[in-house]
Structure 1
Amino acid sequence: MKISRPLRENRQHGDLLFPVSAYETKMEQDFEMPLSYHWHPEIEIFFITSGKANFQVEAEPFIIEEGDVLLIKPNALHGSHDCFGTQLEFRAVVFDYSFLSGMANDRIEQKYLNPLFSEEQGHFILLREKNSIQKALFEMLNKTFFVFDEKEKGYEVLVRAYLLQVVYDILMLQKGEIKPVKTNTRKSEMIRKIVGFVEENHTQRIVLNSLAAYLSVSEGYLCRFFKDNFHMTFVEYVQRVRLQKAERLLRETDDPVGKIALDVGFGSGNYFTTEFGKLYHTTPQKYRKGQDT
């Protein structure tokens, strides 16, 4: 079986001259967020405006909720799922390190940017202190989002200025003993291998013992590892991956539902429709039509 490092996000964030994008996602109450692991070489600042959700960066799971700010460093594997039965709204600003660094290796880069974004100090920084600096940080991120969204004349200048203010606020919060979290390297590597294995082989019939053999661990250990780190069984995880792939194909292609079901690894269209309904609370056909309205 072919194994590589998959899950690099295909989306391009901005362009060569302005490598930054801002996104907003809204999910209705009781919608179960699909598990979605990915990585990208850009920095991501993720913040929830309403609700809360489980989140994971590399091997570290945690809950992120309204008012929290999560800085995800370049190349870190991350994803979220399970929005606790509440309406969930979150925003993200994704940008290349070069967008802030300015003149290469100047004092600002040496003294502030390099230490802040260094992977040696962990893959992420979670900011959840409820104080005036945290509030200012959250408001500045929202201002960045709105300026980017409206794109009025000169918005590029404001986006860079606001993100530099965001960096400053994060540095000030770190003086309050908010420290980067170092992840368990061995556990993180195990998660990457599992995600890569399923990503490469989900269209085939894959079973737990084939993954256990690939990882050189026992099936019992692997079952416990899934429960502790994925919060679901191996079978449930494979199903989530297949459904996530199918959901994307429904949005991005005109392929018949039956073909999509087979392409992502389901044995039949009827079974796929049943499982899709459990996660997305609608049929594949209705979901596709809803994307066109």
Structure 2
Amino acid sequence: MQNHIIETDENGLEQNSHGDSLFPLAGYDEYFSQFILKEVPWHWHEEIELVVVVEGSTHLEYVDGSLELEEGDGVFINSNTMHRLTQTSSIDCHIINFVLKPEFLGGRFDSRIYNEFVKPICSNKSLSAIKLSPKIMWERLILEKINNAFAIYTDQRFGYELSVQARLLDAWYILCVNQPTLFESIPPVTESKIRLDKITKFIHTHYDQKLAIKDLASVADISESECYRLFRKTLQTTPNDYILNHRLQMAAIKLIATNLSILNISYELGFGNPSYFSKKFKEQYATTPKEFRHLHQNK
């Protein structure tokens, strides 16, 4: 089974490409067990993402909110939205998803369609995600369009590009006519988003160094107690746990992608104590770093 690794830069921007400049869309049929961390870790990308849960359930987290997605549910994740998906079902969560550039739907940046029907939604930084439920008629129609488009994308017969685009444009049309408030004046970005963005970028750039809460707080010009409140309110975690999770995520990638010793990896990632690194890694992924490397490098 393939291992999926979501590599990000120091700002959390995903480095994987989706489609190409001539057809800026990619579709994925994924099981959470295929991801090396058995979750889709925190990341963001410029593309829109459309997800449908085929089997199982997942918890979607994003700044200032979260959603529970059961089998049959779907979600629209907006452009530039930092998000994470974790499994909540006892069975292996199975999802299909499209990752696409806004121009796939709107065409050229100076086109009427792009500026009137795509840009207002994708540039709305206060809009992170919209849940789609098969229990609501217009949302079920969108889900049907996405599922149908995915079947055509998977088959890839002659002209599939036209058919996929047509169905996703239909889905976008249904969203637009049923959510007219999306085109009203865009509310300003919340202060919490601005502050969190500054702090997470700092963490992603300096995770290999010793980080104290006072360092994080100073980046956003807030108190240490406010820093704790910010993380609990927006990401439902603590600053320390966020740092630890990011370091362990980077460790998992290095264990698979490099031949660096486990000792060197622990020091490179700012753990200092190799025993502490191994302990936390096993707590998180139910295996030692050595076992993890042996398991995944041999796939």
Q: TM-score, normalised by structure 1?
A: 0.83
Query: Distance in 2 between the 1:241 and 1:270 partners?
Result: 18
Q: Which residue of structure 1 aligns with residue 290 of structure 2?
A: 285
| 2:80 maps to which of 75, 81, 93 | 75
| 2:146 maps to which of 138, 141, 144 | 141
| 1:257 maps to which of 258, 262, 285 | 262
Q: Using a 3 Å threshold, how does the CA distance of structure 1 residues 114 and 232 change in structure 2: closer, same or farther?
A: closer
Deviation at 1:260, TM superposition (A): 2.1
Deviation at 1:110, TM superposition (A): 4.9
Task: Give the % identical residues.
Answer: 26
Query: Contact 1:58–1:183 (CA<8 Å) still a contact in 2?
Result: no
Could you list the runs of 5+ residues in structure 1 that have no partner in the other structure? Answer: none
User: Which structure 2 residues correspond to residues 165-204 of structure 1 after superposition, within 5 A?
Assistant: 165-174=170-179, 185-204=190-209
Count of residues in correspondence between the two structures? 286
Q: Which residue of structure 2 aligns with residue 37 of structure 1?
A: 42
Q: Kindly provide the CA deviation profile for residues 251-281 of structure 1, in whole angstroms up to 9, marking residues without a partner as x.
A: 3233333222222222233322221121112
Higher relative contact order (CA 8 A, sep 6+): 1
Deviation at 1:107, TM superposition (A): 5.0
Query: Distance in 2 between the 1:146 and 1:252 partners?
Result: 32
Secondary structure of the residue that 1:200 maps to in structure 2?
A: helix
Q: Which residue of structure 2 aligns with residue 65 of structure 1?
A: 70
Query: Contact 1:32–1:85 (CA<8 Å) still a contact in 2?
Result: no
Query: Distance in 2 between the 1:159 and 1:255 partners?
Result: 43
Query: Contact 2:132–2:140 (CA<8 Å) still a contact in 1?
Result: no
* 2:238 is aligned with 1:233: yes
Query: Distance in 2 between the 1:35 and 1:145 partners?
Result: 20
Question: Structure 1 stretches (4+) deviating beyond 6 angstroms?
Answer: 177-181
Q: Which residue of structure 2 aligns with residue 86 of structure 1?
A: 90
Q: Which residue of structure 1 aligns with residue 4 of structure 2?
A: none
Q: Using a 3 Å threshold, how does the CA distance of structure 1 residues 192 and 118 change in structure 2: closer, same or farther?
A: closer
Q: Which residue of structure 2 aligns with residue 119 of structure 1?
A: 124
Q: TM-score, normalised by structure 2?
A: 0.81
Query: Distance in 2 between the 1:230 and 1:49 partners?
Result: 26
Query: Contact 2:54–2:94 (CA<8 Å) still a contact in 1?
Result: yes
Answer with 17-26 or 137-146: which moved more.
137-146
* 2:165 is aligned with 1:160: yes
Could you list the runs of 5+ residues in structure 2 that have no partner in the other structure? Answer: 1-8
Deviation at 1:189, TM superposition (A): 0.9
Deviation at 1:83, TM superposition (A): 2.8
Letter in 1 for 2:17: Q
RMSD over aligned Cα, in angstroms? 3.1
Q: Which residue of structure 2 aligns with residue 274 of structure 1?
A: 279
Letter in 1 for 2:152: V
Query: Distance in 2 between the 1:290 and 1:162 partners?
Result: 40
Query: Distance in 2 between the 1:52 and 1:179 partners?
Result: 31
Deviation at 1:119, TM superposition (A): 1.5
Letter in 2 for 1:197: F
Letter in 2 for 1:151: Q
Query: Distance in 2 between the 1:234 and 1:102 partners?
Result: 40
Q: Kindly provide the CA deviation profile for residues 227-266 of structure 1, in whole angstroms up to 9, marking residues without a partner as x.
A: 2223222221111010111112223233333222222222
